[in-house]
Amino acid sequence: MILIAGLGNPEKEYGTTRHNAGFMAINQLSHTHGIDITKTKFRAELGSGKIADEKVVLLKPQTYMNLSGESIRECMEYYKLSPSELIVLFDDCDLDIGAVRVRKTGSGGGHNGMKNIIYQLETMDFTRVRIGIGKKPPRYVLADYVLGRFAEEEREGIIQGIETAASAVSDIIARGADYAMNHYNKTNSR
C-alpha cells in the first residue's frame, strides 16, 4: 500500500490558492483514477483505491499546513506503513509555475508543512513531488503570496503542473522514483 498525501489548507477560502497545489494534485488523482475522497479519519479527508495495480490511500490533511505531519503520521501508523511507502505532493515557490520535481529525500526547505512531516516521521527519506507555483515577487510577504490565488495568465501553467504531478505519482508507483526523477526532472525547467 502507498499513502499519497497532498498538502494544503482545509477551508474553502484557500481552495484555489497557491499553497493548495498539493490538494489540487490529490483531486486530480482522485478524478483520473476514480478514487472517491469521502471518508474522514486521521484528521484528514481520504479515499482508497488502486493506481497501477497498487493499493493506495489519497490523503488531504485537514490540520492546516503547519501540522500536516501529524495527520500523515497517524495514517501511516494505522496502516503500518514505512516512509518508503509515502509520497507527498506540495507547492514550491522556488520552481516556475507548473514545473514538477520528484525527489526521494531532502530537507523541508522553507516549507512548514514539509518541516512538520519530517519532524513527525523523524526522517527526510520519503518521496516527494514538488509543484511549482512561481517565485515570490519582490516586496511580497511570503505568507500573502502563497495564500494568494493564481493570476489568469498563470492558470494554464498550474493546471498543466497539477496534471504532470499526478502523472509523476502514477509513474513513481508503476516504474519507481528513479524513473520518475529521470523523466520529470529533466523535462521541467527550474
Q: Per-residue pLDDT tens for 119-131?
A: 999 999 999 999 9
Secondary structure of 73-119 in HEC code, one letter for each residue: HHHHHHHCCCHHHEEEEEEECCCCCCCEEEECCCCCCCCHHHHHHHH
| pLDDT, tens digit (0-9, with 9 covering 90-100), for 73-131 | 999 999 999 999 999 999 999 999 999 999 999 998 889 999 999 999 999 999 999 99
Beta-carbon contacts of residue 155 (< 8 Å; ≥ 6 apart) = none
Q: DSSP label at 122?
A: T
Q: Cell digits for 87?
A: 509520497
Supply the residues annotated as catalytic. 19
